[in-house]
Chain A
Amino acid sequence: MAAALSPPLIRSAALAAVVAALLALPLMGVRLVDSSSGLSLAGRPDLVAWAAGGVFCGRLLIDLFRRWIADFSIRLPLPPPPPDWTRFAVGWGLALFALVLPFLPFADRNLVDKATMVLIYIMLGWGLNIVVGLAGLLDLGFVAFYAVGAYSYALLSLTFGLSFWVCLPLAGLFAAVFGIALGFPVLRLRGDYLAIVTLGFGEIIRIVLQNWQDLTGGPIGISGIERPSLFGLSFKAVPPEGQTSFAEFFGLDYSADHRVIFLYFLILILALATNLFTLRIRRLPVGRAWEALREDEIACRSLGINPTTIKLSAFALGAMFAGFAGSFFATRQGFISPESFTFIESAMILAIVVLGGMGSQIGIVLAALLLVGLPEWFRDLQMYRMLAFGAAMVLIMLWKPSGLLSSRAPTIRLGGRA
């Protein structure tokens, strides 16, 4: 190993250490101290030295590790790609686990609640995957459609007294219309330019929600949103006049857990429906055209494919699923405000899709578990929580630069041709 410590390695590690030191100098290097003459600044050179030293060693280790991996993989033949049934088995295994999760002995209310949150992000990730992963249209404003779905449900339910089950398709429809509204002006844009416009679109929606006080309540948001019921069975401790509660109907003692578990299954079903839809549509001409469009738009045109309809359908369908997820979010929280729909949410959903491997359905599940779950598990680390989260993301990108699951299964095989 000592022979491998060549000058270029040392140089790159030293460079990284210098950058780290420069960054650490203002961030960690000075501290306000209370002294007799008021506040004064005190230097903390030891922390800066630790940061620079840590980065130097870390960079060196990563480079050495990479070199070792490279040496190693040259000697080994390429591993065969995993057979199709593993993908299948992992998918069904995860789905079964999700089905029984609330009944497992260690599943308390808190865990089911967290799992519900993870499932919302999985569903959003699957929705965005249609736009970004399959059609290759980089969308930084996806949260706008989530917001449209949430506000559609809240307003429809409060204004017209419609039930969740009536509002859900309507919310999806509204979000899809907004998806097309975004799609039209950006038809000719690609890559960076598209990303900027979608980013702006997301902000426009949020700012409109914040300022259209009469309709949306502005920054105060909307509260008292109707909770969903199961075929008319309420989950409230005291059901409203003329309704039966879930607990009464099944002869159970009332427990607040019932609603938590019900909401969990509701989002599980919505998410699985999203997944089934995507898996199915990938095998249909329109889904295959999304992927072909991602690969090469000019070739698509010369094969007689109209890029306009293909792009708009991707925007509309992706937005529709965000709309469903949004109305679920509204009914779960009972309260929404523009604060829940900031850019950081879009970034989070995009990070899930990219980290999952752009296009892989199971990859998105794993990435959502990591990105939403990790910060929760790291809660014990207290102030180091986000540091650990950042380190985890860096490690994933080092280990799997093209996402957790980046292999792609063909949508047709010879046996199934027709």
Chain B
Amino acid sequence: MLRVEGLYSGYGRIEALHGIDIDVREGEIVALIGANGAGKTTLLMTICGNPRASAGRVTLAGEDITGLPTHLIARRGLAHSPEGRRIFPRMSVLENLRMGASIADPRHFKDDLDRVLGLFPRLGERLDQRGGTLSGGEQQMLAIGRALMSRPRLLLLDEPSLGLAPLVVRQIFEIIATINREQGVTVLLVEQNAFHALSLAHRAHVMVTGRIALSGSGAELLNNPEIRAHYLDGGAGGGAVSTS
């Protein structure tokens, strides 16, 4: 579904990605874990066309999307829930969801709304409330729900657990699993919360300073002693963000 080959990218003269190769197959959840500054968010942003890749190729379902503007990439079925949620704070929950369906066929709106509200019943209780007045967890639900409104084939999630209470983190990850299992949405997930991400993912990559350091199935990496030492100690079970 998504294939990244030899991708280089950065900001201005600072190169942040030094040749990344990953692929995401249809129906999978793939996790990218790594410390702060490893380049995880830059990789997602580069896949979405901002910043542009300086070298390498990104293909979505066989089509080369390298260098396309962000909005055209989104229209090819790739939904991106950016870092920090980025919901529209002064607009109501329903308006936020309607914005998510901007590129979808308006006739599907009611069905898509029902589907998303089925996943996130909490949003259904707050449809007329302003986005900015939601709690952190609800805002994250809104960001994911908004991305799902366009019926994407591939969903990119950037740190959905950021700044959320452990209980809410678990809830969000359960919903991600549901989206993948029941609705067939392929997911590429960036996380610092390695334990949750690895338990959920079919496959995972570990990023260190702009390169893929290690790849494997979620379970393999979860049991890898090096990963345990770097990313999981103290983080397991509690959902606390691990540091390295």
Complex contacts, B150 vs chain A, CB 8 Å: 303-304
Chain B residue nearest to A301 (CB atoms) is B70
Bound-state CA distance A301–B150 (Å) is: 13
Q: Which single member of A292, A296, A304 contacts B103 (CB below 8 Å)?
A: A304
Interface residues of A in 395-417 (CB under 8 A from B): 408, 410-414, 417
A288/B94 in contact, CB under 8 A: no
B99–A410 contact, CB under 8 A?
no
On chain B, the residues within 8 Å of A412 by CB distance are 92, 94-95, 98
Do B128 and A289 touch (CB < 8 A)? Answer: no
CB distance from A124 to the nearest CB of B (A): 24
Interface string of A281-324 (1 = CB under 8 A from B): 00001001101100110111111111100000000000000000
Q: In the complex the two chains form, what is the Cα distance from A285 to B87 in whole Å?
A: 17
Q: How many A-B residue pairs have CB under 8 A?
A: 93
Contact B109 A303 (CB under 8 A): no
- CB closest chain-A residue, reference B101: A303
A291 to chain B: closest residue by CB:
B91
Contact A302 B70 (CB under 8 A): yes
Decide: A288 and B95 in contact? CB cutoff 8 A: yes
The residue of chain B having its C-beta at the shortest distance from the C-beta of A293 within the complex is B88
Q: Does B122 contact A (CB under 8 A)?
A: no
Q: What A residues does B72 contact at CB under 8 A?
A: 304
Per-residue interface assignment for chain A, residues 193 to 217, with 1 indicating a CB less than 8 Å from any chain B CB and 0 otherwise: 0000000000000000000000000
Q: How many residues of A contact B (CB 8 A)?
A: 25
A292 CA to B88 CA, complexed, in Å = 6
Is B90 in contact with chain A by the CB < 8 A criterion?
yes
Contact of B109 among A288, A298, A301, A418 (CB under 8 A): A418
Whether B90 and A295, one on each chain, are in contact in the complex, defined by CB atoms closer than 8 angstroms, is yes
A103 to B156, CA, bound (A): 63
Determine the residue in chain A with the shortest Cβ distance to B103.
A304
CB pair A299 B88 closer than 8 Å: yes
Chain A positions 64-121 with a Cβ under 8 Å from a chain B Cβ: none
Q: Chain B residues near A298 (CB, 8 Å)?
A: 50, 82, 86
Contacting A at CB under 8 A, from B134-148, are 146-147
Residues from chain B with Cβ under 8 Å of A305 in the complex: 71, 99, 102-103
How far is it, in angstroms, between the C-alpha of A417 and the C-alpha of B112 when the chains are bound? 12
Instruction: Give bound CA distance, A408 to B133, whole Å.
Output: 14
Return the CB mask of B53-85 against A: 1 if under 8 Å, else 0. Answer: 000000000000000011110110001111000
Residues of the A chain whose Cβ atoms lie less than 8 Å from the Cβ of B94? 410, 412-414, 417
CB-based contact B80/A302 at 8 Å: yes
Report if B22 contacts A (CB, 8 A).
Answer: no
A303 to B150, CA, bound (A): 8
Measured between beta carbons, the chain B residues less than 8 angstroms from A307 are 71
List 17 A-B pairs, Cβ < 8 Å. A288-B98, A288-B99, A289-B102, A291-B91, A291-B95, A292-B91, A301-B69, A302-B80, A302-B86, A303-B74, A303-B99, A303-B146, A307-B71, A410-B128, A417-B110, A417-B113, A418-B106
Residues of chain B whose beta carbon lies under 8 Å from any beta carbon of chain A: 48, 50, 69-72, 74-75, 79-82, 86-92, 94-95, 98-100, 102-103, 106, 109-110, 113, 127-128, 146-147, 150
